[in-house]
Amino acid sequence: MRMIKNYIGAGLLLLATLIIGACKKDKTENTSPPTLTAVTTLTDRATDLQSIGYGEWIIIKGNNLSTTSQVDFNGTLAADSLTYADDNTITVKIPANLTDPINNPIKVTTKYGTATLNFQIKQPGPQIADFNPAAGVVGDEITIDGNYFKGISNVTINGVAATIVSSTQTEVKIKVPTGGTVGTIAITTPVGTVTATKTFGLRHVIYDDGFKNGWTNTSYSTISLDLLSTANTRRGTNAINVTHKGYSAVRFRLASKFATAGYSMVKISMFGGPGTQGKKVKISLSPTAGSYELFLNEGKWTDYQVPFINIGNPTTIEYITFQEFSNFGSQIFIDDVGFY
């Protein structure tokens, strides 16, 4: 019996020793302040980066990082669920949007201090989604929609610098400059330059507040047609207000014929009235057999540009026709028609 008690006593002593030892280990937590030395990718941890983009996963190297509680990218915090730390590294996903287009220092907070690493985290290059209106005269205001416009330094039309009225990350407003009424729109930020895929302006005008350059109206079968409507314009004072019946057409003619040499596309702006969402308007040129279908957007202006190669690649044009092609009675507004 005494022997059993001795065994029990020895076991309890051993258990107490283990508990005390574990407590002593807990008390050896690294209490030194953090230091930061470099940034790498997750796939190449041996190569230090000079910069990286928004939204990327990175490894932050340093020391005394195991108690990291916060990773701050120039005022924007990384999500706790996307931050993992040990004593020498922090694995973290950079937020998708940061304060500055390039300079976004990394600040790490641990249980025992903070450390900052000056590092370039760059927004993506600028992206132009659209701009409106699609044409204008000197001094007109143009709104450009897209993303990553922070730090914008220059906007040009046809290579001519435009006055920037206002800008946010997703929208820029400019004034059309002298010498910039036709051409491509380009935006420059500290990260790079992007050129819009859509062109600006009309190099040859068919309709703009009225017929220009000898073009006349030869429309047919429409229910009503107002060539100088002020009810709804893309810009300026007038637009064409047409109420179609099935397969009726708005058609323009230039008796002397238009030579397409040096031009590449037809441009037109249309506004779809009630019930027109997804309805079709077929554009055709004569003399040629080509045609191309445009799809309307109800309740909004849409700017279309159709390359000549998609409509028969004509060398001369006498007629340009925009025919309702869904057999649907509808109201449509038309403005800014011409060639580029």
DSSP state at residue 103: B
Rounded to whole angstroms, the Cα distance separating 150 from 98 reads 10
Mean pLDDT for 52-62 is: 97
| β-sheet bridge partners, residue 244 | 330
Question: What percent of the chain shows pLDDT beyond 70?
Answer: 92
Residue 27 pLDDT more than 70? no
Mean pLDDT for 38-58 is: 97
User: Read out DSSP for 291-315?
Assistant: EEEEE--BTSEEEEEEEGGGGT--S
Q: Are 110 and 70 in contact (CB under 8 A)?
A: no
Mean pLDDT for 30-37 is: 95
Q: What is the pLDDT of residue 288?
A: 81
Rounded to whole angstroms, the Cα distance separating 38 from 290 reads 60
User: Read out DSSP for 134-175?
Assistant: S---TT-EEEEEEE--TT--EEEETTEEPEEEEE-SSEEEEE
More confident residue, 288 or 307: 307
Nearest CA to 99 among 77, 117, 80? 77
Rounded to whole angstroms, the Cα distance separating 340 from 205 reads 9
Q: What is the pLDDT of residue 30?
A: 81
Poorest-confidence range of 28-32, 73-77, 239-243?
A: 28-32
Q: What is the pLDDT of residue 10?
A: 43
DSSP state at residue 220: B
Domains and CATH numbers, the chain: 35-122 (2.60.40.10), 127-200 (2.60.40.10), 204-339 (2.60.120.430)
| β-sheet bridge partners, residue 237 | none
Q: Are 255 and 325 in contact (CB under 8 A)?
A: no
Global confidence as pTM: 0.83
* Predicted confidence (pLDDT) per residue in 139-162, tens digit: 999 999 999 999 999 999 999 999
